Structure 1
Amino acid sequence: MNCPACGEIFVKNQFRDVCGNCWKEQEQAYDVVSKYMRKRENRAATILQVVEATGVDEELILRFVKTGRLQIAQFPNLGYPCDKCGSIIREGRICGSCAAKMREELDQFNKEEERKKQIQRNPTFFSKKS
């Protein structure tokens, strides 16, 4: 497949989704970010502060957080965007408010489906009065 970062052709495997050269660059970037975050005074840094201080792309840092390479339990101001609305979260794929909205929509859908089944089981016939 083609590397999503540089376009070079490579053999994709279960451990890497980029070519060998890009993987090495990502590992070097991880080392830079990791060293920066290990310093006590930097542990409260936000994503933007880490980007500015290290020069590593925000998307790559977010990938480190999402994959668990950077443990956010140790860094209170790190998080990643909700897949639905983009607000910063620290666990899962969507924030609490989006999850609640999705539950409401699912409940409403289930009620509508149940109503449709009820109508099919008990059809109502109307006659025209002359």
Structure 2
Amino acid sequence: MAELANCPNCGKVFAKALRPTCDACAQQVEEKFERVYKFIRKRENRQATMDEVTEATDVEKALVYQFIREGRLQLAQFPNLGYPCEKCGVQIRQNRLCSTCTDEINKGIRTKDRQKAFEQRMKNRENPRAGIYTTLDDRVRRNR
């Protein structure tokens, strides 16, 4: 059963089933998508930048970014469009982070892993008997 919620855009109460907004706001978003798509679909506008698209269609950049992230606009056909990296804000065309931020995060993970391995080696060195294995024969020989 659908849950009742307030629309985050207009505040009206609606049955939240498939969309996070009411029908009227969802229709407005669809109309804005059609404006953007019709604009960039034209051959002369395929090289348009994000600023040119938002200026010509009167659609907010955040909404165009949302269309790209949802996969409704395929960037392979529009070489000058992109969206900001979620960490540093540089324009990217795929994933959520740019390669610089991804490398930085991976470097931090590798450093943390090396630190854990070093701490484990130090812990093993503190206990000198930890790496020594004896057998029953060794114990018998010592007792004689």
Q: Same fold (TM over 0.5)?
A: yes
Q: TM-score, normalised by structure 1?
A: 0.89
Matched residue type, 2:26: W
Matched residue type, 1:11: A
What is the rounded CA distance, in whole Å, between the counterparts of 2:6 and 2:123 in structure 1? 52
Q: Cα offset for 1:117?
A: 1.4
**Greater share of residues in helix:** 2
Matched residue type, 1:7: G
Equivalent residue in structure 1 for 2:8, among 1, 4, 7: 4
Structure-1 residue corresponding to 2:79: 76
Matched residue type, 1:2: N
Q: Any unmatched runs of 5+ in structure 2? A: 129-144
String of CA shifts for 1:36-81, please: whole Å, max 9, x gaps: 0111110011111101000011111110111111111000011111
Structure-2 residue corresponding to 1:128: none
Q: Output the aligned Cα RMSD.
A: 1.5
Bigger radius of gyration among the two: 2
Equivalent residue in structure 2 for 1:60, among 60, 63, 88: 63
String of CA shifts for 1:74-96, please: whole Å, max 9, x gaps: 00011111111011100000000
String of CA shifts for 1:22-45, please: whole Å, max 9, x gaps: 100000001111110111110011
Distance 1:12 1:119, change over 3 A: farther
- Identity within the alignment, %: 40
Q: How many residues align?
A: 124
Matched residue type, 1:45: A
Q: Cα offset for 1:3?
A: 2.1
More relative contact order in 1 or in 2 (CA 8 Å, sep 6+)? 1
Runs of 4+ in structure 1 deviating by more than 3 angstroms, as ranges, are none
Matched residue type, 1:43: R
Matched residue type, 2:14: F
| Range moving further from structure 2, 116-125 or 78-87 | 116-125
